[in-house]
Amino acid sequence: MKKSFSVKIDPFLFFLVLLLVTIGLFAVYSATQTQETEQFNLFNKQLFFAFLGLIVILFTAYIPFKVFEKIAIPFYFFSLLLLVFVYIFGTKGQGITRWLSFGSIKIQPAEIAKLATILMVAKYLSNKEVNINRLKNLGITLLIILTPFILIAKQPDLGTSLVFLALLIPILFWANLNWFTMFVIVAPIFTMILSFNFYAFLVWMLIISFILFISHRKTLILVVVFFFHILVGMVTPQLWGQLKPYQQKRISTFANPESDPKGAGYQIIQSKVAIGSGGIWGKGYMEGSQTQLRFLPAQHTDFIFSVIGEEKGLVGVIFTLIIFLLLLLYLLYLGSIVKSPFASLSIVGVTTVLLSHIVVNVGMTVGLAPVTGLPLPFISYGGSFLLSTLLMIAVINNFSVNRFEV
Amino acid sequence: MDFSKSSLAIKRWIYTSLILLFFIILIFGFIQLQVSNKDVYVLKSLNNSIRKSQLYAVRGLIFDSKGKIVVDNRPSFSLAIIPRVAKPYTIKDICNRFHLDYTKVKQELKKTFGFRPIVVARDISQESVIWLEENRLNLPGIINVIEPKRYYAPGVKSPHIFGYVGEVTQNEQKQNPEYEQGDLIGKKGLEKKYDMRLRGSKGVKFLTVDASGRELGKLDINRDIPPVHGNDLQLCLDYEQQAFAESLMTEINGALVAVDTKTGGILALVSKPDYDPRNLSGKISSDVWSQLLNNENHPLYDRALQNGYPPGSTFKMVPATAALQENIITPNWKASCPGYFRLGRKVIHCWNLKGHGTLNLTQAIKYSCNVYFLQLGLKIGLETWSKYSELYGFGRKTGIDLPGENKGLVPSVEYFDKRYGKNGWTKGNLANLAIGQGELLITPLQIAQYAMIIANKGTYYTPHLVKHFYDYKTQSFENYPIIEKRVNEISTEVYDVIRNGMKEVVEGGTGWLGKVPGIEMAGKTGTAENPHGEPHAWFMAFAPYDDPEIAISVIIENGGHGGATAAPIARKFLEKYFFGHLIPRVFAKPDSNTVEEKKDSLILPMDIINIQPLKIIPQKEIHNQ
């Protein structure tokens, strides 16, 4: 629209993000206060990446809208290549290979893969020739999303890989997948969960039978779907046995953290104690005893929200959550007003990634979700993660300022 | 794909409701924690970051009667591990360095979880403390804690009085629920008897700690509870006198008990051999401990009140009292001693094989004539004998304020019936008892009490070491209650006769070596047969004769004749007590010592009125069977 050298920025989006990043910086400052020598180091690093990210947002706005569509495919394959590289050259951290090192710079390819996969799947589905309700096109869509999922799950990084699974459903939904196929894709998740209890499983299979019956599809398909669920129900308990013990522990102690107060349950208990003791008004900034005395594990990364809960109380929690909520709803609004289907799908993809991070991370701090090691967008310490999150925002900002382009 | 505006709007609202649902669930979760259950978590968070640290009270000091500190406290360093923080390999390293059993230490650590330091080695060396401090950063969770340990003033020994302190055992914890794991408690002696007084009460200090257990500082001084210093004890004895008594008993197996006849206060209590209490203060090395346990002379055993001995001739005042009080004889009743006594088919010899001739009661006591008392014993019978033994306090505890007292044994008719059958025992048993032999077990402390009863003509006091306590809580002294008792069944006239006999003992009788020049006193020797070698030598005395203030009993195991070995020790003790120094002996050579006196003892003093020869070879008092 405006031709001249004006600042291309979505002010509302930028304001919300700036607010969240600021909250994050304050929280990181408080959470790292006890690491005497490290504090300024960690805080300055985070500050640096925050500035870098904001600059990236400003500059990305000037990239022509079309470029994103064009680079989507090479970017996707490049990110897959990086994920493969992790296996070959990866740096080990706590027995898990997630990082690639280039000199002193370490990157986490899984972060890049998120955006790359979103753009790739958006690019593919926005193609006029592609109809998601055709089996071939659906298959390719699944392939695009599940390839990075498997590569990341193998690292192993269960938390991040599950983000890709979460990405799948809203994208397919947004791309108008018919409800029956959607059901066929989503139902197995419930089957897996319910397979641990025989009676719940039985009831669930009755519900499936009913839905299949009213769907009026070909009998062969119905039979295949039905037996697939039976199979899933039988295999899941076996697969559970295949999980690494620490993964099992994380999921089972989520249900009952007191069962292992010294080990896996420790983090959840300490986080709940921190948040619960914060009360409505909180203990005051830099005054949280759980935080300042370092009872909270990973308090500047995964459990940063517990710091907010302890020091700022319920008021701070609701304030932060409302900003997150506004951001997500605004993104959805953008997704429904942009002209380009590619942009719309990308925005929904980013929204979903952010939503799953927020819900899992915040849910984890209050014991509503298992400890999966997903950081909180904009707030958690971590340069690579902050930068990749801001990069996603940068792309959306570009889409927002170019919302009338196709 | 269909990208119409209407379908987008529907999808947007579906997705929006989903997001809203998620957020409502999350906020509900926070409300539950921060509003509904806030109090629970506030408490948990406080418990998390506040460590209740116990402050040990200073154990009460022990003073002697002159106010000199004899038992005190000094800091000692202990090695402690904070279980939550210490890494297994660090613990292993430490175990190797300090020669600890790794599996044992691990078990100990498993008993508690958290940040409370567990002491694993006590009283570590100065070098070890320095090493720990230097390597502090490499040894997370390993700290040294200062614990008080007992300190004994130079020259102070007396382990049988003071006892020692040690770590509480699980058994002791069960008996006294006030004891907590790791507490140091009195195990023996005064430390055990007065543990509840000496230990004081622990205080509590609240400290803020971080997750690694590091102490960050005090929380709030007003919430802290200061510890209360344990009660101080002041003893009745002058430690100089006690130390002197111990020096008299050097290299002797035996005991010495001196008691204040006006209060029952213990003026000296010696049991030899003993050990250095310093060896049992702080860390007890297993070598030292097993040496003490396995030593054939049993230094851990308090002979003064735990060991029952046959009393020998010191017991002769019991049949004498019984016979007089029951009007079986008058003081002038005479018996003749030809040097032996025929009892049925047995012949029992007097210690003086040539015989004492004809004696009255006073002379019989003075020369300790066995034949006289054998005859007297047969006259009074066992029942009366038992009754009077008990009147003199034998066969029951004196009630001294030390743990583990032995009540000894005074056989009664029932006892003999049980032991030998209704008619299984003979006059021989009775005759034996009359001269303090046979199945009769008496502690040196009981003999001292017996001397006190005779000295006070029936009045006596429960023996006790402690004169008073100082309570730091009320900041006041509390006197040990002096308990006066009286033997009413024995008349003053009887005591007068007995006392006169005992006075004669030291005035040229068998106990002449026990006489302190310039002090009128009374005493009695004893030479107790025992199956293990030489007889035990006894001497008991009280002084001054008219207004007694001290009673003493001395036993020397396998010491031979009581008058020869035990009496001189009692005399020296009394000389020190009355004059503060030893009095040169006119009879002895200038460089006299105990060895010399043993020779001297073969010669009776010159002023003897007896017709007996001057030189006698000491014999065993009886030749029974």
pLDDT single digits (tens) B299-351: 888 999 998 999 999 999 999 999 999 999 998 899 888 888 888 777 888 88
Q: How far apart are CA B189 and CA B152, in angstroms?
A: 15
Instruction: Name the nearest CA neighbour of A366 among B601, B244, B520, B35.
Output: B35
Cis peptide before A109 (omega within 30 of 0): no
* Residue A278 near chain B (CB below 8 Å): yes
Q: Which of A290, A314, A325 sits opposite B34 (nearest CB)?
A: A314
What are B522-549's pLDDT values in tens digits? 999 999 888 778 899 999 999 999 999 9
Which helix (H) or strand (E) segment holds residue B342: the answer is strand B340-343
Question: How far is the alpha carbon of A154 from chain B, nearest alpha carbon, in Å?
Answer: 28
Say which residue the tokens 């007590």 belong to. Answer: B577
Number of A:B CB contacts under 8 A? 133
What are A300-337's pLDDT values in tens digits? 888 999 999 999 999 999 999 999 999 999 999 999 99
* Residue B21 near chain A (CB below 8 Å): no
In terms of CA atoms, which chain B residue is nearest residue A329? B16
Q: Which of B44, B113, B209 sits opposite A293 (nearest CB)?
A: B209
Q: Between chains, do A367 and B29 touch, taking CB under 8 Å as contact?
A: yes
B-proximal residues of A, 168-187, CB under 8 Å: 170, 173-176
* Residue A132 near chain B (CB below 8 Å): yes
Q: How far apart are CA A363 and CA A376, in angstroms?
A: 11
| Phi-psi category of residue B314: left, alpha or beta, with phi > 0 → left and psi -120 to 50 → alpha | alpha
> Token digits for A38?
């490290």
Whether the pLDDT of residue B610 is over 80: the answer is: no
E-strand spans in B156-293? 165-167, 184-186, 203-209, 215-218, 232-235, 254-260, 266-272
Q: What is the mean pLDDT of residues B42-58?
A: 76
A277 CB neighbours in chain B (<8 A) are 38, 41-42, 44-46
Instruction: Identify the pLDDT of residue B175.
Output: 84
Question: How far is the alpha carbon of A296 from chain B, nearest alpha carbon, in Å?
Answer: 8
A363 CB neighbours in chain B (<8 A) are 25-26, 29
In terms of Cβ atoms closer than 10 Å to its own Cβ (0-12, 13-18, 19+), residue B246 is buried
What are A251-269's pLDDT values in tens digits? 666 666 655 555 556 788 8
In terms of CA atoms, which chain B residue is nearest residue A282? B34
pLDDT band per the 50, 70, 90 thresholds, residue B215: low
Instruction: Identify the pLDDT of residue A348.
Output: 95
Q: Between chains, do B12 and A314 touch, taking CB under 8 Å as contact?
A: no
* Residue A346 near chain B (CB below 8 Å): no
Q: How far apart are CA A342 and CA A344, in angstroms?
A: 5
* Residue B212 near chain A (CB below 8 Å): yes
Q: Which of B2, B3, B207, B215 to mutate to test the interface with A (most CBs of A within 10 A)?
A: B3
Q: Between chains, do A277 and B44 touch, taking CB under 8 Å as contact?
A: yes
* Domain spanning B240-289+301-600: CATH 3.40.630.10: no
B212 CB neighbours in chain A (<8 A) are 294
In this structure, of B93-107, B428-442, B487-501, B575-589, the range with the lowest mean pLDDT score is B575-589
Share of chain A above pLDDT 90, in %: 41
Cis peptide before A156 (omega within 30 of 0): yes
Report the CATH superfamily, name and number, of domain B51-230.
Penicillin-binding protein 2a (Domain 2) (3.90.1310.10)
Question: How far is the alpha carbon of A162 from chain B, nearest alpha carbon, in Å?
Answer: 17
- Cα distances (Å, whole numbers) of residue B620 to A265, B109, B353, B554: 82, 61, 10, 19
What are B353-401's pLDDT values in tens digits? 888 888 899 999 999 998 899 888 888 888 899 999 999 999 999 999 9
- Domain ranges within chain B, ordered by starting residue: 51-230, 240-289+301-600
Q: Between chains, do A294 and B30 touch, taking CB under 8 Å as contact?
A: no
Q: What DSSP state is assigned to residue B564?
A: I
B27 CB neighbours in chain A (<8 A) are 317-318, 321
Q: Which of B1, B16, B45 sits opposite A132 (nearest CB)?
A: B1
E-strand spans in A127-261? none
